[in-house]
Amino acid sequence: FFAMVASHGHGVGQAILDYALGPGQHPQYHLPTLPNEVAFMQSAFQDLGGLFGLLIMLLCLLCAAQALLYGLAGHMSHRKAQPSVPSDHGVKHLAVIMDGNRRYGKHKYGVAAKGHWDGGQTLCDFIDWSMEFGISILTVYAFSTENWNREPAEIKVLMSIFQQFSEKIHATALAKNIRVRFLSSYPDPLPDHIQALVHSIESSTDHCTAFTLNVCLSYGSRGEIVNACQSLARQVLQGELRPEEIDEARFGRALLTGGLPDPDLVLRTSGECRVSNYLLYQLAYSELSFLDKPWPAVTRQDLMDILSHYSRRQRRFGK
């Protein structure tokens, strides 16, 4: 302990000498270089002599002790300020509307497309964080059916970025036992090479069990609901199903998320407070969280805060 105190006090003692005698005016009193704390103490008494040396030493020790106490207190308060994620936070299925890529890109780079690229990297990181914190299913809104109304040049860039990050996620999925599914209510406009890539990723990760990633691509919830209704209607027409057999559970199985639990929590970034035709049937009793920062700027700490806040909510499911 004395060694640590003396090491912090050395600079203080030198400063006191500078102040008392003037900078560079006390070569005979130059304090020795630590960590030879014993030599420092001896030289303080021998060179400075008697009461003055003792006073200097006491001041050094007092300042060093105070600095150590402040440092320790600051370290402890910093540790307390770091919120932890309860292991039983309760989020098994997290759905995310990854909003704000274009605005982020324009603001940071002056180019919207760069925001989409950064958003892809954030998704890769977010998958790791979700697995780290015990989430089992992550469903992300990557490209809506309404996005086809954007400029062709932007769509081409988006498809290129999607392809590159899908290949990266594919490699991660195989390494980490992640099942990847692509949910599309309107797949027809997707380029052939994208459809082939989607099929390849789904088939090669279908056996994976550690985590499920659902990527909503060319997706709209109203279209998904209409498709489910048409599928059930065909089964009725073909005599495979009676109308009275259609209940909430059967209808849920006809959706693209059939077989999965509904999202516990829906997160939307960029400060917008709407669901934008996303999982309208599935999020009937989901908790909603809105984060006032664009998707590419989301951090691990943001997810920790969101899960910690969710753990304090009381879900009533309409009761």
Residue of 147, 227, 262, 302 marked catalytic? 147
Q: What is the mean pLDDT of the chain?
A: 85
Say yes or no to pLDDT of 6 above 50. no
Predicted TM-score of the model (pTM): 0.75
Helix residue ranges per DSSP H, the chain: 2-21, 37-43, 50-81, 101-108, 112-132, 152-176, 192-205, 221-237, 248-254, 300-311
Backbone angles phi, psi at 264, to 5 degrees: -75, -35
Residues forming beta bridges with residue 215, ordered by sequence position: 140, 182
Residue of 36, 47, 88, 99 marked catalytic? 99
pLDDT in tens, 100-121: 999 999 999 999 999 999 999 9
H or E element that contains 28: none
Q: Is 159 helix (H, G, I), strand (E, B) or coil?
A: helix
103: its two tokens: 């605005």
Q: Is 84 helix (H, G, I), strand (E, B) or coil?
A: coil
Q: What's the confidence (pLDDT) of residue 1?
A: 39
Sign for the pseudo-dihedral over CA of 20, 24, 29, 34: positive
How many whole angstroms separate alpha carbon 294 and alpha carbon 104? 6
Give the CA count within 13 Å in the CB-facing half-sphere of 208.
24
Q: Domains of the chain by range and CATH?
A: 2-81 (no CATH), 93-311 (3.40.1180.10)
- State yes or no: is 147 an active-site residue: yes
224: its two tokens: 């998904």
Q: What's the confidence (pLDDT) of residue 257?
A: 98
pLDDT in tens, 212-234: 999 999 999 999 999 999 999 99
Mean pLDDT, rounded, for 233-261: 98
Say yes or no to pLDDT of 27 above 60. no
Closest CA to 215 of 97, 92, 91: 97
- State yes or no: is 99 an active-site residue: yes
pLDDT in tens, 135-175: 999 999 999 999 999 999 999 999 999 999 999 999 999 99
Q: Is 222 helix (H, G, I), strand (E, B) or coil?
A: helix
pLDDT in tens, 38-94: 455 455 445 545 555 556 566 656 655 565 555 555 544 444 445 578 888 999 999
Contacts of 107 (CB under 8 A, 6+ apart): none
- Residue 309 one-letter amino acid: H
Contacts of 276 (CB under 8 A, 6+ apart): 97, 99, 141, 144
